[in-house]
Amino acid sequence: MEELLEIRDLRKGYRGKCRKGGEDRAVLSGLSLRLFRGEILGIRGRNGAGKSTLLQIIAAVRKPDSGELLYRGAEKRGISYLPQELSLYEELTVSENLHFYGAALSLRAEQIRPRCRWLLDRLGLSGREKNLVSELSGGMKRRVHLASALMGTPELLLLDEPTVGSDDESAERILALIRHFRERGSAVILTSHRSGELDELCDRVMTLESGRLLEA
């Protein structure tokens, strides 16, 4: 299998002035990981264990204190990061949101339109293109949120709780789309509090505990 990403001895902490209670805390303590093309890796852990921090560092949204990240098969521009918090423009339509994210990836209009149609169809949102995001249910917003991260052709998907707040139908459509990208060769790292979801979907599941990834 082709290695896509290697992490060596990653460390990240937060100083007391940034945290309630004022105590320094190490979030990632010598974490190492190898990820391969076409692999889905699930990460579980308690709230505050550092799951979101790890994804943010891989996505270059946050800097580590030390350690190495080696993007062997994937350039950073081939990485799509989906934060847990929705990042949609409520006053815009579904289509306008996706066109915005497509343009941010330097896609041309003739590339964006079919990509939008395909993603919305796969996510059960056909016919919702002209709806304002503010008019959608929570589950629908979560699916549009995922579509915004998939407007490009990512080699590595970083998904932070992609099904949180979703009903069963929305969650299953999201998981089906993740499987599709795995089948076309993308690697995926996702976090979830739904243990059954991780066990069903992932090739490997690891637990983030005491700043390190442990085999589940």
> Within a 13 Å sphere around the CA of 58, how many CA atoms are in the beta-carbon half?
35
pLDDT digits (tens, 9 = 90+) for 168-211: 888 999 999 999 999 999 999 999 988 899 999 999 999 999 99
The answer to whether 151 touches 107, Cβ cutoff 8 Å, is yes
pLDDT digits (tens, 9 = 90+) for 92-121: 999 999 999 999 999 999 999 999 999 999
pLDDT at 120: 97
Structure tokens at 33: 């990981």
pLDDT digits (tens, 9 = 90+) for 49-98: 999 999 999 999 999 999 999 987 555 668 999 999 999 999 999 999 99
The answer to whether 30 touches 214, Cβ cutoff 8 Å, is no
162 vs 53: CA distance, rounded Å = 15
pLDDT at 25: 82
The answer to whether 26 touches 66, Cβ cutoff 8 Å, is no
CATH code matching the domain that covers 3-215, chosen among 3.40.50.300, 1.10.10.10, 3.40.605.10, 3.80.30.20: 3.40.50.300
Residue 22 one-letter amino acid: G
pLDDT at 103: 95
pLDDT at 1: 79
Q: Is residue 17 pLDDT above 70, yes or no?
A: no
pTM attached to this predicted model: 0.90
72 vs 78: CA distance, rounded Å = 12
**What is the b/e burial string over 77-115, where b = at least 16 CB atoms within 10 angstroms of the residue's CB?**
eebbbbbbebebeeeebbbebbbebbeeeebeeeebbeb
pLDDT digits (tens, 9 = 90+) for 126-149: 999 999 999 999 999 999 999 999
The answer to whether 91 touches 32, Cβ cutoff 8 Å, is no
